[in-house]
Amino acid sequence: MYGDTAYFDRILVDDCAKRVGLLAHARCLQRQLGAQPFDLIYNLQGSSLAHLLVLLLRKRRVINKSSSLWHKLLSIKVVGKSVPELVGAGGFDQRVVTDYFQQEKSTVIQLGTDPQLAERYRQILHQDGATRPVAALAPGASPRWESKKWGDRHYTELAVRLQDAGFRVIVVGSDLESAAARLILLRADGALDFTGQTRVGELKALIGNCDVFIGTDSGPAHIAAAVGTPTVTLFAATRSSHGVQHHPYRGEHISLSAAGDVCQVCYNPHCPKSHACMATIRVDSVLQAALRLAHQHPARLR
């Protein structure tokens, strides 16, 4: 995500995810981070793995965004700290922190893109010389959140209707979404499949060239918002308050939620009702939201 930015001096990728067991995973990460002591650790995730890793590392001070290790063990919910509170807790001058976050540019989440990659994808998306708007569809969801999926049938119908409305349609995601992309392309002739072909930096540049992004509450949705692309995000199992429109991103973003008379927000990773909740989100509603955003915020004007 931030590999092509100047925000961090060093970024380490978790290569230990295939380790069996929480302790083995944490010890692998400990070795990856090295033996040097840390002056300050911010535990932003607060997961069991994060707490265990922090416990293993040599450090002088730890600041938790929300739950401490004891809160986690005792299942005690606590209110998470805001970004200014996290910075202030690090020992920085509170007046400087307050002044900094009173500036709008200091609170907006904004990711840059590689200019060469951005130009490369611009040429691919408009290789026919047409200036039609581009819609990115992300039909997938995290394997841990299968309940967030809207369904290949809905995305296929949406792709066809977007094309009828004059859009170029692209499909993005990992290898896990390649099968869905093939189904979409069977009916949406001329759509482009980028699934399994983009790393994070490339995905930022690709989505940054789009006029609207459509998908569930996921990593790609937040990437789209961070590069300034308007988003339509679909919700059922989780609350829309987690969506990009409730974060300080640029641009306009729309959240669409499942009808409450069918299901309630359950936070169940696996839908027990065969995605009946997500099915209440109508293709026409998503299409109208996408049309509104794309026409108000075309990519070529950002």
Q: Which tens digit of pLDDT belongs to each residue from 80-121?
A: 898 889 999 998 888 898 898 888 777 777 788 889 999 999
What pLDDT does residue 155 have? 96
Highest mean pLDDT among 97-111, 233-247, 282-296: 282-296
228 CB-near residues (< 8 Å, 6+ apart)? 110, 208, 249, 250, 251, 302
Report d(CA 108, CA 39) in Å as an integer: 28
% of the chain surpassing 90 pLDDT: 48
Nearest CA to 257 out of 201, 300, 224, 216 is that of: 216
What pLDDT does residue 274 have? 66
Which whole number is the average pLDDT over 123-145? 87
Stretch among 33-42, 55-64, 167-176, 249-258 having the lowest mean pLDDT: 249-258
Strands 253-257 and 212-216: unpaired
What pLDDT does residue 260 have? 66
Report d(CA 18, CA 24) in Å as an integer: 10
What pLDDT does residue 263 have? 65
What pLDDT does residue 302 have? 47
Q: Is the pLDDT of residue 125 over 70?
A: yes
Tens-digit pLDDT profile for residues 172-212: 999 999 999 999 999 998 999 999 999 989 999 999 999 99
Report d(CA 107, CA 84) in Å as an integer: 9
CB atoms closer than 10 angstroms to residue 111: 21
Q: Is the pLDDT of residue 301 over 60?
A: no
